[in-house]
């Protein structure tokens, strides 16, 4: 009788959760573990044999100057992008929750870049930087030879940041809008009656109550920045002179272009550790915020 | 809310007019890149090169770019591939995640389920870059199932069930009263029927949110499809765009047309579903 009940239970569980768990294990957990194994081999991507090399790949990764350059670049890119995205998104969210007639139109409009995939966005902006801006600069300076921002190392990074801010701001704006809506208006009004001016009410009442939105937006924009690949590929392709290769692109090239699968995988794992630290910090800060709020 | 609407009427003053004006300028800047593509699509190449900013070129209006790009990027094939993959993967994600979340919420004593669910949440910090080499190695090298649209569909589902299950988990726990289910069971419903007849329909808001977020992600994804689908006739829109750019990067008129073709389906859809998409993303933001 008991085993019958057990097998009935097992049937119920696997009927409902089986497909989701099976796919999750097959696509995320199994490859993750297999990837760990691959970091200890020097596999060329073709042969059946995967020679064991111990920590060799990690040593190679540690010594790979280009990898650390790309990680450093990613950190700089991420810090600047995350700050700008959140400042722009918060300002836009504030503006579109002021009861303007056209506020829904603005919300919908600022979100448009998020509809289009990174590959397409990158090519659209490549056209803007290489043709439209150049032609504008030529018209303004009356000289026939302006060069594109994308052709200098700092310019290329600037373009990457500009496009990323443009793309993500609308998405984060929606999260901040939800945050603004969830703030109880009576608290704001109470603070105004108690003698706060609008700015004080903003900083001391509304912003602290929106902590969850901030944590979430910063987490989302940071992880997106650390994993960015599409825009990097279509907008700059890492050029000029590999000066705009971000970490995800370096890992991809290491594995699939140079066929150093083991090293690429070891470098990807380091990227994972960075993301995991950001994720854990986010959970930690989020939990602390919950207690306060 | 009432308050805001009231002040909204009173606020029809200089301040809100100025704010509307500023936001209109910002919005114009936001959509300018798209406008630039649209303007140049209808120009012959010589006019684009001469002046990409002019609204109408010297040689007038043409739709040749469109016709040629459509043919060369095999637009109908790639668009139908993208549609097939996006629709199937989204439906499967919604169905399997909602079912899994249901059994996890209602059976807290089930240890394996709890462990796997925690693993799902933890896995959300794994960047795709860690998984791409092993994925190709396992499913290409060992099982030989790459170059198949179904493989991509199942992989999309596998990657997105974590977040979706998490969202359904929250919705079922807070919004679905146990009493309803108990009543259904007393009336003779099996668990399966209770889920489909009672629980699933009540999850509509979360279904909408998950559908919107995942459909957008699947439609726009580039890296995973580029690793799984190597054969030309299986290309999705992002891969086809990338391949097209690589081949015709100097023929700027064709490129403009290809970019517009890649953007058009989702822009048209957005025109109709805009309210739901904005709401879906927002409510996903609050829960996620």
Position A289 scores a pLDDT of 60
Whether residue A68 is predicted with pLDDT greater than 90 in this model: the reply is yes
What's the CATH class of domain B74-287?
mainly alpha
CA dihedral A140→A144→A149→A155, nearest 10 degrees, is -90
Tell me which chain A residue has its CA closest to the CA of residue B7. Answer: A99
Distance CA A243, CA A252 (A): 16
Whether residue A291 is predicted with pLDDT greater than 80 in this model: the reply is no
* Residue A70 at interface with chain B, using a CB cutoff of 8 Å: no
* Residue A124 at interface with chain B, using a CB cutoff of 8 Å: yes
Q: Which residues of A touch B216 (CB under 8 A)?
A: 114-115
C-alpha pair distances (Å), B172 with each of B99, B105, B177, B181, B194: 10, 7, 8, 12, 13
From B274's Cα to the closest Cα of chain A, the distance in A is 7
Give kind and range of the element (H or E) at residue B68. helix B64-72
pTM to 2 decimals?
Answer: 0.90
Q: Which of A8, A9, A16, A49 to mutate to test the interface with B (most CBs of B within 10 A)?
A: A16
- pLDDT tens-digit map of B123-176: 988 889 999 999 998 998 888 889 999 999 999 999 999 999 999 999 999 988
Whether residue B8 is predicted with pLDDT greater than 50 in this model: the reply is no
Cβ <8 Å between B27 and A99: no
Confidence of residue A42 (pLDDT cuts 50, 70, 90): confident
Tell me which chain B residue has its CA closest to the CA of residue A95. Answer: B19
Q: Indicate the DSSP class of residue B56.
A: S
Partner-chain residue, chosen from B32, B40, B126, that has the shortest CB–CB distance to A28? B126
Q: How high is the ipTM of this complex?
A: 0.89
Q: Lowest-pLDDT range, A126-140, A152-166, B105-119?
A: A126-140
Give kind and range of the element (H or E) at residue A42. none
Cβ <8 Å between A104 and B120: no
Cβ <8 Å between A252 and B26: no
The two three-digit tokens of residue A54, written as one number: 């111990």
């Amino acid at each position: 009788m008991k085993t019958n009940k057990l097998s009935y239970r097992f049937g119920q569980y696997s009927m409902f959760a089986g497909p989701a768990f099976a796919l999750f294990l097959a696509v995320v957990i199994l490859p993750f573990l297999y990837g760990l194994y691959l970091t200890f081999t020097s596999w060329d991507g073709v042969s059946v044999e995967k020679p064991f090399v111990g920590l060799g790949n990690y040593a190679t990764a540690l010594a790979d100057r280009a990898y650390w350059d790309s990680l450093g670049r990613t950190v700089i890119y991420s810090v600047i992008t995350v700050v700008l995205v959140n400042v722009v998104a918060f300002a836009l969210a504030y503006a579109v929750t002021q009861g303007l007639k056209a506020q829904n139109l603005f919300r919908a409009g600022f979100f448009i870049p998020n509809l289009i995939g990174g590959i397409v966005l990158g090519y659209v902006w490549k056209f803007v930087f290489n043709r439209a801006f150049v032609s504008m600069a030529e018209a303004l300076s009356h000289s026939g030879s302006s060069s594109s921002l994308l052709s200098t190392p700092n310019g290329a990074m600037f373009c990457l940041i500009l496009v990323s801010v443009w793309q993500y701001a609308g998405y984060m704006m929606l999260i901040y809008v939800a945050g603004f809506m969830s703030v109880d208006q009576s608290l704001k009004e109470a603070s105004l009656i108690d003698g706060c001016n609008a700015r004080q009410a903003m900083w001391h009442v509304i912003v602290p109550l929106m902590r969850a939105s901030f944590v979430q937006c910063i987490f989302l924009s940071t992880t997106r920045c650390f994993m960015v690949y599409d825009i990097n590929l279509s907008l700059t392709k890492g050029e000029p002179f590999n000066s705009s290769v971000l970490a995800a692109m370096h890992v991809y090239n290491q594995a699939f272009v140079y066929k150093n699968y083991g090293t690429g995988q070891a470098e990807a794992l380091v990227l994972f550790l960075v993301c995991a630290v950001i994720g854990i910090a986010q959970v930690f800060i989020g939990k602390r915020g919950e207690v306060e709020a | 809310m009432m308050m805001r609407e009231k002040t909204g009427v009173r606020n029809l003053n200089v301040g809100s007019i100025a704010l509307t004006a500023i936001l209109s300028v910002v919005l114009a800047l936001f959509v300018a890149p798209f406008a630039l593509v649209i303007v140049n699509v209808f120009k012959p190449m010589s006019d684009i090169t001469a002046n990409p900013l002019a609204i109408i070129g010297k040689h007038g209006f043409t739709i040749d770019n469109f016709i040629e790009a459509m043919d060369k990027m095999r637009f109908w094939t790639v668009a139908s591939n993208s549609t097939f993959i996006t629709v199937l993967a989204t439906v499967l994600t919604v169905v399997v995640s909602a079912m899994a979340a249901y059994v996890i919420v209602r059976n807290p004593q089930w240890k394996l389920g709890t462990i796997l669910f925690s693993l799902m949440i933890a896995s959300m910090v794994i960047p795709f870059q860690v998984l791409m080499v092993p994925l190709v190695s396992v499913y290409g090298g060992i099982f030989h199932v790459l170059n198949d649209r179904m493989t991509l569909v199942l992989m999309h589902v596998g990657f997105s069930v974590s977040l979706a299950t998490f969202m359904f988990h929250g919705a079922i726990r807070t919004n679905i009263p146990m009493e309803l289910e108990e009543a259904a069971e007393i009336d003779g419903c099996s668990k399966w029927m209770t889920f489909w007849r009672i629980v699933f329909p009540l999850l509509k808001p979360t279904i909408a949110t998950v559908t919107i977020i995942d459909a957008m992600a699947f439609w726009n994804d580039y890296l995973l499809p580029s690793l799984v689908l190597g054969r030309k006739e299986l290309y999705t829109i992002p891969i086809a765009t990338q391949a097209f750019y690589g081949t015709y990067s100097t023929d700027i008129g064709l490129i403009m047309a290809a970019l517009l073709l890649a953007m058009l389906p989702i822009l048209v859809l957005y025109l109709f579903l805009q309210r739901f998409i904005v709401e879906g993303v927002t409510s996903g933001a609050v829960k996620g």
